Amino acid sequence: MKSSLPTSVQIPKVLTIAGSDSGGGAGLQADLKVMTALGAYGMTVVTAITAQNTLGVTRIQDVALDIVEAQIDAIFDDIGADIVKIGMLASPEIVRTVATSLLRHGVEKIVLDPVLRATSGASLGGDDTAAAMIAELFPLASLITPNLDEASLLLGRDISSAGDFKQAAQDLLDMGPQAVLIKGGHLDSTHTQITDLLMWRSVEDDLEVIQVKEFRHDRIKTENTHGTGCTLASAIATYLADGHDLMHAVGKAISFVEAGLVAGQFLSIGEGPGPLWPMHDFYPTSLPVENQSS
Question: Does the annotation count 183 as an active-site position?
Answer: yes
Confidence grade of residue 61 (pLDDT, cut at 50, 70, 90):
very high
Mean pLDDT of the chain: 91
Question: Does the annotation count 225 as an active-site position?
Answer: yes
Query: Long-range CB contacts (< 8 A, 24+ apart) of 286-292?
Result: 287/262, 287/263, 291/221, 291/265, 291/266, 292/220, 292/262, 292/265
Cα angle 76, 81, 84 (rounded to 5 degrees) comes to 105
Percent of the chain with pLDDT over 70: 90
Confidence grade of residue 30 (pLDDT, cut at 50, 70, 90):
very high
Q: Walk me through the domains of the chain, giving residue ranges and CATH numbers.
A: 13-291 (3.40.1190.20)
At 145, the amino acid letter reads T
Question: Does the annotation count 227 as an active-site position?
Answer: yes
User: Choosing from 225, 238, 251, 274, which is the catalytic residue?
Assistant: 225
| 166, 197 Cβ separation under 8 angstroms | yes
| 97, 129 Cβ separation under 8 angstroms | no
Question: Does the annotation count 230 as an active-site position?
Answer: yes
Confidence grade of residue 171 (pLDDT, cut at 50, 70, 90):
very high
* Continuous segment of H or E residues that includes residue 198: strand 193-204
| 189, 291 Cβ separation under 8 angstroms | no
User: Choosing from 228, 231, 238, 274, which is the catalytic residue?
Assistant: 228
User: Choosing from 25, 229, 251, 260, which is the catalytic residue?
Assistant: 229
- Phi, psi dihedral angles at 86 (to 5 degrees): -115, 130
pLDDT in tens, 200-211: 998 887 888 999
Question: Does the annotation count 238 as an active-site position?
Answer: no
Distance CA 103, CA 77 (A): 14
Distance CA 201, CA 142 (A): 10
User: Choosing from 23, 42, 184, 227, which is the catalytic residue?
Assistant: 227
Q: Cα–chain-centroid distance for residue 65?
A: 22
Percent of the chain with pLDDT over 90: 76
Distance CA 117, CA 17 (A): 17
pLDDT in tens, 229-275: 999 999 999 999 999 999 999 999 999 999 999 999 989 999 999 99
pLDDT of 121 reads 53
User: Choosing from 47, 183, 195, 251, which is the catalytic residue?
Assistant: 183
- Report which of 178, 145, 159, 161 is spatially closest to residue 254, judged by C-alpha positions: 145
Q: How many CB atoms lie within 10 A of CB 100?
A: 13
Distance CA 95, CA 102 (A): 11
pLDDT of 2 reads 56
User: Choosing from 16, 33, 230, 251, which is the catalytic residue?
Assistant: 230
